[in-house]
């Protein structure tokens, strides 16, 4: 069996299209940085050059020397923080990718992420670590968050399966219901159940109707952190490899989950059924596949993955949740969409695209730290990359266009110079000889 050339394979063309989207987006950001720098007296040409370098190698920026020049080198803190921030991005990217594999668009990841946040924190902080081992509380909190996200994701799945309601509309509705539901439940919990919990007895006091943080006096009102109950994701030595960073074993769990999802989608009967429903729901039903059940399964799994991202983030031990300031939909849920787009919905590719998006986040921080640029300029770069990745089919057609033209020319030449039966017989005889 003859294999097509490497550059003509669909997978290779998808990879090239994604890489081109990233490169063009970075160059677009560089041009923007240059224009802003030259037009701003506080930045100038030197500041613009520093900004351009930070866009491409900002992950390895360390400091400025005595002369004010940027110093680059291996920055383990930046790399570790990148891996930490990539963890929830990988999970929300997987959430969007697996639904896309089954022909559904899961824009409900923010709501599923919020539900996972609520369930994870309430379980992690309501079971006293003096009675139950912290590692067991961690497992219960993680699984509880995943189950909450799965149940929330199954709602638009059922609406799609039984009532044929567009999943995008259903997901948008459930997103805002989740935002208000989480706010309401945290409000109730703050004055009732959590008042008697372990960490409130030791770390908080009631004053003027609100909980005051005894450790951080600058913060007041409903700040939740799992380490107050001695619950945190283990480091597994990563803190020694990347000292000074927030990295923990959560990134290893995210990578393992991505590999498992890849195997399920591509190597199992269940994965084949999910993809069959995505390709043609009616044909799948005709073939004996339960299309309604698989649609619900797909959205439930997507919800569980998004919630797992929240669980890994808030169980890390170095993050906190303040519901008074986080009453909006989390951006991390929406950021899973460009992560999945760049990965072309490939679960393994999501690992790399999620890490790349996290790297841009670190670059934005370095821009603010070492230059007069605003860190949100990286959002413009991400937007450009997202738009380009959305036009990946156009980029792929441009990549393969030349080969198609060559094929058309060869066909035209064959029509102009057809092989006669005598020539064909002569060629056949020569080949046999």
163 in any annotated domain? yes
| In a shared domain, residues 23 and 109 | no
Range of the domain at 393: 10-74+372-408
Per residue in 353-369, is it b (16+ CB within 10 Å) or e — as a string? bbbbbbbbbbbbbbbee
Q: Are residues 27 and 105 in the same domain?
A: no
Strand, coil or helix: 66: coil
Q: What is the pTM of this model?
A: 0.83
Are the beta carbons of 19 and 11 closer than 8 angstroms? no
- Residues 398 and 337 placed together within one structural domain of the fold: no
Quick: pLDDT tens for 332-346: 888 899 899 888 889
CA distance 365 to 85: 13
Residue 367 belongs to some domain of the structure: no
pLDDT at 325: 56
Whether 413 maps to a domain, the answer reads no
Q: Which of 181, 145, 120 is nearest to 329 (CA)?
A: 181
Q: Is residue 224 part of a domain?
A: yes
| Residues 220 and 302 both lie in one domain | yes
Domain identity same for 236 and 146: yes
Q: Are 13 and 4 in contact (CB under 8 A)?
A: no
- Asked whether residue 114 is assigned to any structural domain, the reply reads yes
Looking at residue 254, what is its pLDDT? 96
Q: How many domains does the chain have?
A: 2
Same domain, 67 and 216: no
Flag whether 213 is in a domain: yes
Q: Is the pLDDT of residue 386 over 50?
A: yes
Q: Which range has the worst mean pLDDT, 63-77, 158-172, 256-270, 374-388?
A: 374-388
Residue 306 within a domain: yes
- Asked whether the beta carbons of 292 and 162 are under 8 A apart, the reply is yes
**pLDDT tens digits, one per residue of 189-200:** 654 444 444 344
Q: What is the CATH number of the domain that holds 94?
A: 1.10.3470
Same domain, 124 and 248: yes
| Pair 118, 14 in one domain | no
250 within a domain of the structure (yes/no): yes
**149 and 297: one domain?**
yes
250 and 315 share a domain? yes
Say if residue 266 is in the same domain as residue 351: yes
* pLDDT value of residue 204: 41
* Run of H or E residues at 322: strand 321-322
3-state secondary structure of 211: strand
- Are 278 and 397 part of one and the same domain? no
Average pLDDT over residues 191-211: 39
């Amino acid at each position: 069996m003859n294999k097509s050339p490497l550059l003509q394979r669909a997978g290779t063309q998808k990879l090239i299209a994604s890489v081109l989207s990233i490169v063009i987006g970075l160059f677009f950001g560089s041009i923007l940085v240059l224009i802003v720098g030259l037009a701003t007296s506080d930045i100038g040409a030197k500041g613009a050059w520093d900004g351009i370098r930070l866009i491409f190698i900002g992950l390895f920026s360390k400091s400025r020397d005595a002369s004010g020049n940027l110093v680059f080198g291996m920055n383990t803190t930046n790399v570790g923080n990148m891996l930490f921030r990539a963890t929830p991005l990988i999970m929300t990217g997987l959430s969007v990718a697996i639904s896309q594999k089954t022909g559904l668009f899961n824009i409900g990841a923010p709501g599923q992420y919020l539900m996972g946040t609520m369930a994870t924190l309430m379980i992690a902080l309501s079971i006293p670590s003096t009675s139950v081992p912290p590692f067991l509380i961690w497992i219960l909190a993680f699984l509880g968050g995943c189950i909450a996200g799965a149940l929330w994701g199954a709602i638009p799945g059922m609406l799609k399966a039984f009532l044929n309601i567009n999943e995008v509309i259903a997901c948008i509705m459930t997103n805002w219901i989740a935002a208000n539901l989480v706010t309401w439940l945290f409000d109730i919990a703050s004055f009732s159940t959590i008042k008697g919990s372990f960490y409130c007895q030791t770390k908080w006091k009631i004053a003027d109707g609100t909980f005051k943080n005894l450790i951080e006096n600058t913060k007041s009102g409903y700040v939740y952190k799992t380490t107050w109950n001695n619950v945190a994701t283990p480091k597994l030595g990563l803190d020694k490899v990347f000292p000074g960073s927030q990295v923990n074993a959560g990134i290893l769990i995210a990578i393992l989950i991505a590999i498992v999802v890849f195997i399920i989608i591509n190597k199992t009967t269940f994965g084949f059924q999910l993809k069959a429903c995505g390709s043609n729901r009616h044909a799948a039903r005709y073939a004996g596949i339960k299309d309604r059940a698989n649609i619900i399964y797909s959205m439930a799994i997507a919800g569980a993955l998004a919630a797992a991202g929240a669980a890994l983030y808030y169980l890390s031990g170095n993050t906190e949740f303040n519901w008074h300031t986080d009453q909006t939909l989390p951006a991390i849920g929406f950021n899973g969409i460009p992560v999945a787009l760049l990965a072309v919905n490939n679960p393994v590719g999501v690992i790399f695209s999620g890490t790349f998006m996290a790297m841009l986040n670190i670059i934005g921080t370095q821009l603010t730290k070492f230059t007069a640029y605003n860190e949100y300029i990286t959002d413009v770069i991400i937007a450009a990359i997202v738009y380009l990745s959305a036009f990946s089919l156009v980029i792929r057609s441009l990549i393969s266009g030349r080969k198609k033209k060559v094929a058309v020319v060869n066909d035209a030449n064959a029509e102009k110079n057809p092989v006669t039966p005598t020539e064909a017989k002569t060629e056949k005889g020569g080949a046999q000889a």
